[in-house]
Amino acid sequence: MTAEDRQFFQPDWRVESPLLLTRAQAAQLCQVSEEILDQWSYEPGFPVIRRNGGHFVRIHRAALERWLEQFALGTNPGLLYSDAPLPAPVRRRVRR
């Protein structure tokens, strides 16, 4: 791979992207909805910055990239999000 090839493969968003991302920017970067990003924000180690009262404020871009890499590799201990509905609880009859 030549130097020109490496330059071609570098994402453009890195050059001018902010250090701290809003919810919308982070969701766009991750290619997920803001709702999924909100769910991820409660996962252990997710790099969200919150104000007093727990309001979602910003996400550190580089830390988000590291978290996504761990999440994609399955090394993040947090619960993975799934669109599949949870299985219905099994009801058992109680003999009396």
CA distance 66 to 78: 14
| pLDDT tens digit at each of 96 positions of the chain | 565 555 555 555 555 678 899 999 999 999 999 999 989 988 888 998 888 777 778 999 999 999 988 888 886 544 445 555 556 666 667 776
- In a domain? residue 30: yes
Range of the domain at 46: 3-73
Q: What is the pLDDT of residue 77?
A: 45
pTM of the model: 0.58
The domain total for the chain is 1
Which pLDDT does position 57 carry in this prediction?
83
CATH code of the domain covering residue 61: 1.10.10
pLDDT score recorded for residue 37: 92
The answer to whether residue 15 is domain-embedded is yes
Q: Has residue 82 been placed in a domain?
A: no
Q: DSSP assignment of the chain, as one string?
A: --HHHHHHHS-THHHH--SEE-HHHHHHHHTS-HHHHHHHTTSTT--EEE-TTS-EEEEEHHHHHHHHHHHHHT---SPPP-SSPPPPPPP-PPP-
Q: Is residue 12 part of a domain?
A: yes
Give me the phi and psi of 21, to 5 degrees please: -105, 150
* Domain-located, residue 86: no
